[in-house]
Amino acid sequence: MAKKQQDAIEIDPQQEEIEQQYKTMTGSQRAAVIMLLLGEQHAANIIKFLEPKEVSVVGASMVDVSDLSQGLVNKVLDDFIEILGLQTNLGLGTADYVQNVIKQALGDEKAATVLGKIMPPSSSKGLEILHWMDARSIAEIISDEHPQISAIILSVLEADVAAQVLGFLPEQQRSEIVQRVATLEAIQPAAMRELEGLLTQQFSNTSAQSANFGGVETAATIMNFASAEVVSEVMDTMALKDENLATQIQDKMLTFDNLAEVDNKGIQKLLAATGNEVLMAAIRGADEATKENFLSNMSERARLLFLDDLEAKGPIRISEVEAAQKNIMRIARKLADDGEIVLVGKGDDFV
């Protein structure tokens, strides 16, 4: 009798595996599962309300999750229904409600990252079209414009797109534009109207309000996504013009070694999303604290196998190391955008 009771309370190994897989899924992947379950028409209606970057992220996730097991799909759906069952329609959709829920769920640090994406400062309609344009086209539009106009436009773009635009601009313009991004403050209505007129006549009569763009953190984030060549050229030139500002931007920039400050849960999520081959290349150029943060979050068996493979691997080019580190940082930023991990720069203060 005792044995039957013991067997009854034992965890089903298959269910335990589903639970573990569920924990490693990002928020966008879980949302993608729900979108797929809703069907084409309902999913299309939801996508109409998403920002361009959100469409890209959710769309990519819908491809990623297309071959999940039925058990994992059921788990996502059950969790979604459970969350809905705890809600009422009172206050849903209001800014305060959304902010409070996300802060309670993720904590202030992670919530700040997510809220910055889903509740951006109000921008003019004339600028919204930029989010649907490719980087080269945007660069062609602003290449002959005043650096201040270019700085405003880079500030309202997603950081990775802004970095691509910067790469397409003439080399002699880049440093001044990034410097202006870092020193941007409130943009007055007259300047906003002029910018709207540049982008499209269709929105030229939109009522504009002063808006806050740019700043040191925006400039640093753009630099995080730029190529090593562009970063070196821009920062070296800027240091000659304004060494203090260049230092402030560098202090906010994230490098692979900043991953030493990511907590255990965050590193485990990063390990789950990163292949061993990429990590082996990236970790060769990391400092000891960063290496240890990755190794200490592996199981003993996985760590020993990883170290054996790392030792057996021959020399590789520094360019391969840098490419691998950028690849992992790209994954880390995506996880940070989803509120899954917190990335800490050396200029950030936490208590």
Q: Each residue of 276-296: pLDDT tens digit?
A: 888 998 998 888 999 999 999
List, for the chain, all residue ranges whose pLDDT scores fall below the cut of 70. 1-12, 66, 84-129, 131-132, 186-214, 228, 344-351
Say yes or no: 83 and 133 in one domain: no
Say yes or no: 202 and 224 in one domain: yes
Residue type at 192?
Answer: M
pLDDT of residue 296: 92
Say yes or no: 71 and 170 in one domain: no
- Residue 6 located in a structural domain: no
Say yes or no: 208 and 307 in one domain: no
pLDDT of residue 349: 44
- Residue 98 located in a structural domain: no
The conformation of residue 339, written as its DSSP 8-state character, comes to: T
| Residue-number span of the structural domain to which 71 is assigned | 13-87
**Which H or E run includes 223?**
helix 216-225
- Residue 1 located in a structural domain: no
- Residue 346 located in a structural domain: no
Say yes or no: 175 and 268 in one domain: no
Say yes or no: 269 and 302 in one domain: yes
Domain end position, chosen among 63, 87, 111? 87
- Residues with Cβ within 8 Å of 63's Cβ and at least 6 positions away in sequence, in order, are none
Structural domain count, the chain: 3
CATH of the domain at 317: 1.10.220.30
Say yes or no: 140 and 237 in one domain: yes
pLDDT of residue 297: 92
- Residue 110 located in a structural domain: no
Domain end position, chosen among 87, 110, 140? 87
Say yes or no: 159 and 224 in one domain: yes
Say yes or no: 216 and 162 in one domain: yes
pLDDT of residue 237: 87
Say yes or no: 81 and 191 in one domain: no
- Residue 343 located in a structural domain: no
HSE-CB at 173 with a 13 A cutoff on CA atoms is 18
Domain end position, chosen among 58, 87, 116? 87
Say yes or no: 48 and 61 in one domain: yes
pLDDT of residue 322: 82
Say yes or no: 63 and 162 in one domain: no
